[in-house]
Structure 1
Amino acid sequence: MFGHEKGAFTSAIKQRKGKFEQADGGTLFLDEIGDMSLSAQAKVLRALQENRICRVGSDKDIEVNVRVVAATNKNLRHEIELGNFREDLYHRLSVIVVRVPTLKERAEDIPALTDYFIQKICAEYGMEQKKIEPKALDELCGMEWPGNIRELRNVVERLIILSDKTITLEDVNTYAVGTF
């Protein structure tokens, strides 16, 4: 994330700019920030507070001007209580919080997303677009979807691979239900 200097460690054969330095003057997206170690959180917090970073193996600070957008599927307030996430970093990052509802909370989006994934995946595989029975789609709409849209996409891909020309309720019950 912060880069390194040539020779900073055994495999550092050349200087490498880190993500903060690469994003200087722009936006850095930190995905799954809730899984970041406490040590890494401290370094990110310092970079955000001081607008400067230091590459591994260097003694020089580099000024950076970076807007950070962070995402997580974890409840960071709960992670703070458990001691897994720094509260000061949470406050630094939570200037504007956008909560995206789970797929289960917006089941009305599942038909459109399923149609999109069927079109996209069939095109990727170079195959004729498959149809999906209304009952099969209803079954997908009633599922829990703990993995949200990524999980829906994977299930649709599985159904495309394993079903005939039309995805049936039986296909959904055989290849999708109980997979999570």
Structure 2
Amino acid sequence: MPLREARVLAAAALAACTALPCHAQNGGDPASLYQPKLAAQLPPLRVEVIDGIRFRDIETKTIFRLYGIDACASDQIATLGRQPWPCGTMVRAWLVTATLNTWLACAVIRDEPGERVARCATAAHRDLSADMLREGVAVLAPATDGEPVIGDYAAAEQQARKAYRGLWSSAFQMPWDWRAARKAATNVAVQAEATP
């Protein structure tokens, strides 16, 4: 069904619900209506990729980060045998290929300063994060307290590791360790320049 038709149907359903009280079967008391607490579902969006785990909605310019995963930074390198290869470029290319000229549906997990953390899907990828883990282009992000744990993500990463797929065929530094080392090296360089 084309997006325009889907939006028209959704608007018609909402109008019907507003015209005839949807809570009428509950004795007319809106407080007695059960409504599940679901993650915020956004309208479908088209995006431009920023890096391996982030993209920007081309209409609203809102930045989204994929939930539960991390990936090589843009200029990070992995090594296969003695051959270095740009794992950051590879993961960005994977995400561009998965999202180019495609509608994304995203469920927001939480809002953070400057970005929204979300689980996203396309027609070809039921869960972008899970597929990235399964293909070995991303790794599980370190768990944080209070975050929902998605068992499928750990299983997908394990499958990629066992098959030596993607990153798991190479020597690489975990993205968070690579960024921390890069930041420390930058701080040392800045301090060295500042010291007379």
Give the TM-score normalised by structure 2. Answer: 0.29
Q: TM-score, normalised by structure 1?
A: 0.31
Instruction: From the two aligned structures, give the one with the greater strand fraction.
Output: 2
Higher helix share: 1
